[in-house]
Structure 1
């Protein structure tokens, strides 16, 4: 049996991965300070010994363990954060990495697993990362690290993370798992029916269309969203900084044809809006990196065609849509064929239908894109709000990637 200690445990995706591949393991302890994540962890895995804040743990009081996992906070390393760094004694959240040194030095577990954002390997952070690897080497560990992308291990999310496997007093060369052919697409993880609250408002759609039609877009690279074009591979780019990812939907009569993913490199800046709010990703492709801070402007958006299958009436270009009666089920109610509803003297202006609707991902879809089983999601849903579920998924590690790593690490134990 492999004894496991999960530092910065979150909802316990490391344990999920070990369970999935049939490893005989036992979690002897975790370190987690987020009370909401702890609720999800215990609902999914059962009661656990939580030693709390890692900076306050007395390593002499910890049980022995064989595997120590430490996905330390990335806020001060990530390109999406303030990039305050993770220097020792700096007081940043990411500097909690150095608290792990005390525990590793004292307990000397056989295996270590680290996970963090790709930016840990960038020029600004690589010196600190190398210093950490040197400390582990001096303790007798052999380190193996590599940047892996979730889309290469069965999950339609463009999520790059650096993983480091450290093995104590071992001369064997660890090999990271080979890439897999992606067979699952974003559409395969979507729910059939979702609440109306997840759909973008008409104003937000107009903002999106305005950006798509922006005459100031320069240096556009257009990728056909159809499978016929191998260059695209139906992947929605994971963009950072001022880059914006948008989907251009062309129509032919009443038919929405294949979308095109547009990557813009030099788009006129609009300081009023967060660029990520205008990213829309094809359901036939791959989602962007999911964020822990999944506020309404930070959730990936996807297009949904009109149709009664989704619980509402077909509305075609030129038809009127009655926003006063949004739940109407008849054409006389919600949709007026090639006409508009009665105009009023108030602020209820007439709205004409476009080819499509756009919505945000749901919490369940977020968890699916982290490779977490629906059964575990529903357990967590019982004890947490949607906002916490988004955050927990964004902070998690993709289970399928972990499973592939553990398959190689413990292949002799299975």
Structure 2
């Protein structure tokens, strides 16, 4: 399974594919990524590749690394390009690791500069979890109201860059990826955005894809978090009606939104306490809890009163948390835990970044490697700050949900073998051929 991840983030897609690889007997190759946020770039690399730095990069001096990095349009907040001159204030080792992460993961960096020919012809799966800020209710509250309207230059409108890339491949007589995976907020189907989303689905159909739209909640896939997201799996069938019918029949019989079908998967929702780190005899967990404890201000007291109690005053643990977003110190948030070390602060705490990572389906060791390689950007300022770690988790996708969808994708792949095989011809013009 050859994969290209657009809007890569910290790689929940790669994580899900790596988990199903052994049990589904597939080999996963991440051919390219595309991400411009330097925190996500480095977190992805550490989580999926480790932290070793090759000699040819170690020997570079700071000016050489800066010269190389200045060629890339990078961002520190995921919203605007960072001023290249500000990179010089970063730690030299940090800069080397960012550069290595870009090179090692074949990172295309800028989706607007990515061309159709940049997507390898042997790509089976292209994922695109484009930004949701202009679609979500929170984004609308902050004035982001243009959604995915064309030519409005919104972050969510980067969806149309994917359209351009696919069209360029067609114009170049290059094969399209067999599978496309979209993930975003369910507001894509809201009245404000449904016209644009319908236009996107129709475009994919014209290109030869059939689409399956799911609205999946993490609670149904063993993770005790209320997080409902829209996922669309698109499968290239060209004009093969037999293959199209076979895949549509598969989806009817294996509908991940069907409660009765979900029961057949024997997915057991884990208790929330398994994901929480409340063993305060562990000095690391205690320190993280203290850092997530707000001051006893009136506004923070209201946050406790108005939001769900993950753990209440009687030490009773709820059965789930609310949707994990990019920030916890706000209303609404994911919920709060009663916590009173009698230090004069509020008698509760937020979820810690560690707990957020685990509730997004990542392994605790994935979080640990970020802490182990947390460079100082300047005195008393770490690269992976608490705020950054919250954002990395909140912007990600629940891994367990993706596992279920990717398992279906692998099963559908068998239909290609039994009904019609999509062949990438290395002869002549590399057009799609069906046999």
Quick check: 1:293–1:394 contact (8 Å CA) kept in 2?
A: yes
2: CA distance, partners of 1:401 / 1:363: 20
Partner residue of 2:138?
80
For residues 174-185 of structure 1, what are the structure 2 equivalents within 5 Å?
Answer: 174=251, 175-177=254-256, 178-179=261-262, 182-185=268-271
The one-character-per-residue Cα deviations of 1:185-242 (angstroms, maximum 9, x if unpaired) are 3222111233222223333598339x85xxxxxxxxxxxxxxxxxxxxxxxxxxxxxx
TM-score for the superposition, normalised by structure 1: 0.69
What is the CA-CA distance between 1:246 and the residue it aligns to?
A: 4.2
Structure with the larger strand share: 1
Quick check: 2:315–2:338 contact (8 Å CA) kept in 1?
A: no
Structure 2 CA distance for partners of 1:91 and 1:10, relative to 1, 3 Å = same
Q: Pick the aligned partner of 2:274 from 180, 185, 188.
A: 188
Give the length in aligned residue pairs.
309
The one-character-per-residue Cα deviations of 1:149-199 (angstroms, maximum 9, x if unpaired) are 011101111001001010001411234434365532322211123322222
Structure showing greater Rg: 1
Partner residue of 2:393?
393
The one-character-per-residue Cα deviations of 1:337-385 (angstroms, maximum 9, x if unpaired) are xxxxxxxxxxxxxxxxxxx931111111000110001111112332422
Partner residue of 1:167?
235
Partner residue of 2:351?
361
Quick check: 1:291–1:298 contact (8 Å CA) kept in 2?
A: no
Partner residue of 2:199?
131
2: CA distance, partners of 1:29 / 1:396: 18
Name stretches of at least 5 consecutive residues in structure 1 with no aligned partner. 213-243, 259-282, 307-311, 313-320, 327-355
What is the CA-CA distance between 1:409 and the residue it aligns to?
A: 1.3
Three-state SS of the structure 1 residue aligned to 2:297 is helix
Name stretches of at least 5 consecutive residues in structure 2 with no aligned partner. 50-103, 170-174, 238-242, 281-285, 375-383, 415-435
TM-score for the superposition, normalised by structure 2: 0.65
Q: Does residue 4 in structure 1 map to residue 15 in structure 2?
A: no
The one-character-per-residue Cα deviations of 1:21-75 (angstroms, maximum 9, x if unpaired) are 1231101001101011000111122321000111111222332211000001100
2: CA distance, partners of 1:87 / 1:391: 25
2: CA distance, partners of 1:368 / 1:200: 22
1: CA distance, partners of 2:177 / 2:310: 52
1: CA distance, partners of 2:17 / 2:312: 45
Quick check: 2:149–2:157 contact (8 Å CA) kept in 1?
A: yes
What is the CA-CA distance between 1:84 and the residue it aligns to?
A: 2.1
Three-state SS of the structure 2 residue aligned to 1:167 is strand
Q: Pick the aligned partner of 1:63 from 87, 101, 120.
A: 120
2: CA distance, partners of 1:200 / 1:389: 17
Quick check: 1:156–1:182 contact (8 Å CA) kept in 2?
A: no
Q: Over aligned residue pairs, what C-alpha RMSD do you find?
A: 2.7
Structure with the larger helix share: 2
